[in-house]
Amino acid sequence: MMENAILVSHLGKSFGEVKAVRDISFSVTRGEIFGLVGPDGAGKTTIMRMLAGVLQPDEGEIDLDGLDMLKDAENAKLHLSYMPQRFGLYEDLTVSENIFFYGELFSVPRAERISRSRELLEAAGLLPFGKRLAGQLSGGMKQKLGLVCALIHTPRVLLLDEPTTGVDPVSRRDFWAILYNLRESGVTIVLSTAYMDEAERCSRLALLHEGKIRHCDTPSRLKESMPGALISIFSGNPRKTREVVSNQPGVLGVLLMGDRIHVRVDDAATRIPELEKLVSGQGEFEIRIAEPGIEDVFVALLDEREEA
Amino acid sequence: MLERLAVMLMKEFLELKRDRWAMFRLIVPLIVQMLVFGYAATFTVHHVATSVLDLDRSQASRSLISHFVATSRFDIVDYAQKQSEITHDIDTGRATIAIVIHAGFSRMLDKGAALQVIVDGTNSNTALIALGYLSQIVSGFSLEQSGASGIGISLQARPWFNEGLDDRWFFIPGVIGTLTLLQVVSLTAFAIVREREVGTLEQIMVSPIRPFEFILGKTVPFFLIGLGDILLVSAFGILWFHVSFMGNPWVMLAGASLFLLAALGIGLLLSTFSRTQQQAFSLNFFFVNPLFILSGFAFPIAAMPEFLRWFTYINPLRYFLIVLRAVFLKGVGFTVLWPELSALALLAFVALSLSVLRFRKSLD
């Protein structure tokens, strides 16, 4: 039996008339990277802020490593780190001074702070910039400095709210390398993202839509659970192809993916020949069974929900 | 707890040190405003433009006019020949006061002669004061005319505390309180709203720090800045404008400390109602001006309508101005000022408690 680092039950929060999130329950095992995936406005940030103890939920419970977040926030916060979409850095302070400040807030002993900040700065590629003012860093560097500040007190649970939004690909790779390392050392990570490729890197995912968790599983099992099969069609004019294919019998959904389209059908064996015939009139094309990505699954599962 | 407070303070002072313009912003406007107030804010009226129409043309009327010429209070800008010229002078603003001596003035002197005075009442304050001087001159003149035989009461006024009735002595202690209030309330409100805007506030709140530790860390520097302000402006008033300081500096320090706590509380309270610096700016504008008007700085509280007078009771500036003027000019101490000091303490307590309560809520 794996240990639960986070246990959330029946969490709900409204802002005035708007129900931001409803009946949110999930658990995260120690050392997992748990992803909250969903479009903007799905309630990701609201859940994150409640987990971090900066937003009081209307109902439900949050258990963080055996500590009750709602009743014993101060102790729970000692083991927790939260990085919002934009980490609050003091731009008039240098990189080292920011780290010092956040270290002291969590009462990190001096020796530990120094060795750990070196380690983290190195991993983030920020070691040469210790004396630079935080305000003079690039966007990606700021985000990495935020992560360093968030990790200076060696949290057991790390909450990241869309951490790589607006971050360049290189910084993003550094970022994920750090996250994998943390997972190795037993840190539990909850992250929210609107990027589907990033979602695939998580151990488990909760698909969020309109304030509710629709599905929650590992990425591979989510893909298996996708109803129907996925066919990929390359063609010279994917928009036209989408139009042609859309209302065919057996077609459950069509997604435009750059130079090709993803068609979800009820049965690949019977539908491929039918679609082939339809598309053949439009010049060169290629049709084959495709591996669904998280995006396909997400859209498919939401479609099912609406039809049901 | 002390560690977290210490690191908050360290951070605040480091930021202040980094801010190259901070010293300039904190000191120069205070000094400049002090100078402007010191020189410009005065109720004294000098060189009032006066137009004279003498229809009597007697020795007595010429003697009366010479009394006006002799003082620096009035400058005769026009010796008019007819009534319409007088009207023209007042209409165009060439003269503020017109004196009309009607024919028969000298004949009526011993039975009680009338002197017509027209005054431009646009600026009611100047008009009133000029009329005051005018009636002094006229009564001096009539005493002279009646000679030794006349019965007269001569006023032997002896103003206390400000023997020269120097307006500056009245204004400068008030300026100290007013400028400090403006400075401290806006600094506090803006500093906290800025942390909210940048996102550092939320970041600090996910740490184990308690709200009151944060508030303390944020306000202690402004308390010190406020004390510095008061010291600087007071020294300036005493050394540059030679306002007397009769009282006990400790009484002043006690009053200043309580007043600053109340001002910090108001600044904090404003910050909890603002998400952005723009909002803080308009709130600040909305609150601070009435605090200034309803303080007794320039406009006597006793003359205000009753419902406004009630607001002055919850205005810390009102009490601090009393303390300042009393300490500077009267030299009285705790035995006299304890009601004002207690009121300041109470207001400080209420403002700070309210702001701490509001602060928790405003985090959501």
Residue B50 · residue B76 · CB < 8 Å: yes
Please determine, for residue B5, whether its predicted confidence score (pLDDT) is greater than 80: yes
Q: Which residue did the predictor score with more confidence, A62 or B110?
A: A62
Q: How many Cβ pairs within 8 Å bridge chains A and B?
A: 74
pLDDT at residue B151 in the model? 60
Which helix (H) or strand (E) element contains residue A149?
Answer: helix A139-151
CA distances from B116 to A74, B129, B144, B315 (A): 80, 17, 20, 44
Q: Across the interface, which of B7, B202, B209 has its CB nearest the CB of A84?
A: B202
- High-pLDDT (> 70) share of chain B, %: 96
Give mean pLDDT, residues A172-179: 86
Please determine, for residue A306, whether its predicted confidence score (pLDDT) is greater than 80: no
Residue B251 · residue B277 · CB < 8 Å: no
Q: What's the token pair of residue B177? A: 């309180």
Q: Of the ranges A37-51, B192-206, B254-268, which is most confident?
A: B254-268
For chain A, give the longest Cα–Cα distance: 72
Q: Across the interface, which of B11, B206, B208 has its CB nearest the CB of A101?
A: B11
Judged by CB atoms closer than 8 Å, whether chains meet at B206 and A54 is answered as yes
Judged by CB atoms closer than 8 Å, whether chains meet at B195 and A88 is answered as yes
- Distance from chain centroid for Cα B106: 45
Phi first, then psi, for residue A239 (nearest 5°) are -65, -45
Judged by CB atoms closer than 8 Å, whether chains meet at A104 and B3 is answered as yes
CA distance to partner chain A, nearest, from residue B207 (Å): 6
Query: CA-nearest residue of chain A to B200?
Result: A88
Please determine, for residue B227, whether its predicted confidence score (pLDDT) is greater than 80: yes
Please determine, for residue A153, whether its predicted confidence score (pLDDT) is greater than 60: yes
- Distance from chain centroid for Cα B119: 27
CA B78 to CA B66: how far, in whole Å?
14
Residue A69 · residue A47 · CB < 8 Å: no
DSSP per position, A2-13: PPEEEEEEEEEE
- Compute the C-alpha angle B313/B314/B319, nearest 5°: 65
pLDDT at residue A286 in the model? 83
How long a stretch of residues is chain B? 364
The average confidence (pLDDT) of chain A is: 86
- High-pLDDT (> 90) share of chain B, %: 34
Please determine, for residue B29, whether its predicted confidence score (pLDDT) is greater than 90: no
CA distance to partner chain B, nearest, from residue A134 (Å): 12
Burial (CB count <10 Å: 0-12, 13-18, 19+), residue A180: exposed
Q: In this predicted structure, which of A207-211, A240-244, B325-329 has the lowest mean pLDDT? A: A240-244
Phi first, then psi, for residue B118 (nearest 5°) are -110, 135
Please determine, for residue B346, whether its predicted confidence score (pLDDT) is greater than 90: yes
Please determine, for residue B156, whether its predicted confidence score (pLDDT) is greater than 80: no
Please determine, for residue B290, whether its predicted confidence score (pLDDT) is greater than 50: yes
Q: Across the interface, which of B7, B199, B364 has its CB nearest the CB of A105?
A: B7
What 3-state DSSP class applies to B25? helix
- Picking from B69, B121, B67, the residue whose alpha carbon sits closest to that of residue B97 is B121
What 3-state DSSP class applies to B62? helix
Q: Which residue did the predictor score with more confidence, B328 or B151?
A: B328
Please determine, for residue B184, whether its predicted confidence score (pLDDT) is greater than 70: yes
Q: What's the token pair of residue A232? A: 């990929």
Phi-psi region of A268 (alpha: psi -120 to 50; beta: other; left: phi over 0): alpha
Give per-residue pLDDT as tens, A89-124: 899 999 999 999 999 988 889 899 999 999 889 888
What is the torsion angle, in degrees rounded to the nearest 10, for the CA atoms of residue A143, residue A146, residue A152 and residue A156? -80
Residue B97 · residue B121 · CB < 8 Å: no
The average confidence (pLDDT) of chain B is: 88
Q: In this predicted structure, which of A26-40, A179-193, B140-154 has the lowest mean pLDDT? A: B140-154
Give mean pLDDT, residues B226-254: 91
Give mean pLDDT, residues B36-60: 87
- High-pLDDT (> 90) share of chain A, %: 24
Predicted model pTM: 0.80
pLDDT at residue A307 in the model? 60
Q: What's the token pair of residue A73? A: 């926030």
Q: In this predicted structure, which of A5-19, A266-280, B165-179, B249-263 has the lowest mean pLDDT? A: A266-280
Please determine, for residue A184, whether its predicted confidence score (pLDDT) is greater than 60: yes
Q: In this predicted structure, which of A6-10, A182-186, B143-147, B197-201 has the lowest mean pLDDT? A: B143-147
pLDDT at residue A36 in the model? 93
Return the domain boundaries, chain B.
Answer: 2-41+163-362, 48-146
Give per-residue pLDDT as tens, B51-82: 999 998 988 889 889 988 888 889 999 898 98
Strands A204-209 and A212-217: antiparallel
Judged by CB atoms closer than 8 Å, whether chains meet at A84 and B15 is answered as no
A285-289 sheet: strands from edge to edge? A251-257, A260-265, A229-235, A285-289
Judged by CB atoms closer than 8 Å, whether chains meet at B206 and A52 is answered as yes
CA distances from B8 to A103, A211, B221, B260, B275 (A): 12, 37, 10, 20, 22
CA distances from A281 to A155, A235, A240, A275, B298 (A): 60, 11, 11, 11, 90
Alpha helices in A247-307 (DSSP H): 268-279, 294-307
Give mean pLDDT, residues A265-288: 80
Q: Which residue did the predictor score with more confidence, A280 or B182?
A: B182
Judged by CB atoms closer than 8 Å, whether chains meet at B207 and A87 is answered as no
Rg (CA), chain B: 28
Please determine, for residue A216, whether its predicted confidence score (pLDDT) is greater than 70: yes
Q: Which residues of B touch A (CB under 8 A)?
A: 3-4, 6-7, 10-11, 14-15, 18-19, 195, 198-210, 363-364
Give mean pLDDT, residues B288-296: 89
- Distance from chain centroid for Cα B280: 24
Alpha helices in B199-305 (DSSP H): 200-205, 211-239, 249-272, 277-293
Residues of A in contact with B200 (CB under 8 A): 88-90
Judged by CB atoms closer than 8 Å, whether chains meet at B18 and A52 is answered as no
Q: What's the token pair of residue A2? A: 């794996």
Residue A36 · residue A203 · CB < 8 Å: no
Q: Across the interface, which of B3, B200, B202 has its CB nearest the CB of A54?
A: B202
DSSP per position, B67-120: HHHHSSSEEEEEEESSHHHHHHHHHHTS-SEEEEE-TTHHHHGGG----EEEE-
- Token pair 């000091």 in the structure block, residue: B341
pLDDT at residue B343 in the model? 96
pLDDT at residue A299 in the model? 83
Residues of A in contact with B2 (CB under 8 A): none
Judged by CB atoms closer than 8 Å, whether chains meet at B208 and A54 is answered as no
CA B337 to CA B328: how far, in whole Å?
13
Residue B98 · residue B118 · CB < 8 Å: yes
Of the options 3.50.50.60, 3.40.50.300, 3.40.1710.10, 3.40.50.620, the CATH number for the domain spanning B48-146: 3.40.1710.10
Judged by CB atoms closer than 8 Å, whether chains meet at B206 and A77 is answered as yes
Query: CA-nearest residue of chain B to A87?
Result: B199
pLDDT at residue B344 in the model? 96
Mutation target for A interface from B15, B21, B193, B207: give the one with most A CBs within 10 A: B207
Q: How confident is the model at residue A305 (pLDDT cuts 50, 70, 90)?
A: low
Quote ipTM for the complex.
0.75
State the helix-helix crossing angle for B124-146 and B59-70, rounded to 10 degrees.
130
Which helix (H) or strand (E) element contains residue A206?
Answer: strand A204-209
Q: What's the token pair of residue B150? A: 């006349």
CA distance to partner chain B, nearest, from residue A88 (Å): 4
Sorted by where each starts, the structural domains of chain A and their CATH numbers stand as 4-222 (3.40.50.300), 227-291 (3.30.70.920)
Q: How confident is the model at residue A1 (pLDDT cuts 50, 70, 90)?
A: very low
Phi-psi region of A120 (alpha: psi -120 to 50; beta: other; left: phi over 0): alpha
Q: What's the token pair of residue A278? A: 């339809």
Give mean pLDDT, residues B271-289: 90
Q: Which residue did the predictor score with more confidence, A301 or B5?
A: B5
Q: How confident is the model at residue A40 (pLDDT cuts 50, 70, 90)?
A: confident
Judged by CB atoms closer than 8 Å, whether chains meet at A93 and B364 is answered as no
- Token pair 């990929």 in the structure block, residue: A232
CA distances from A3 to A28, A159, A216 (A): 9, 18, 18
Residue B311 · residue B347 · CB < 8 Å: no
Q: How confident is the model at residue B99 (pLDDT cuts 50, 70, 90)?
A: very high
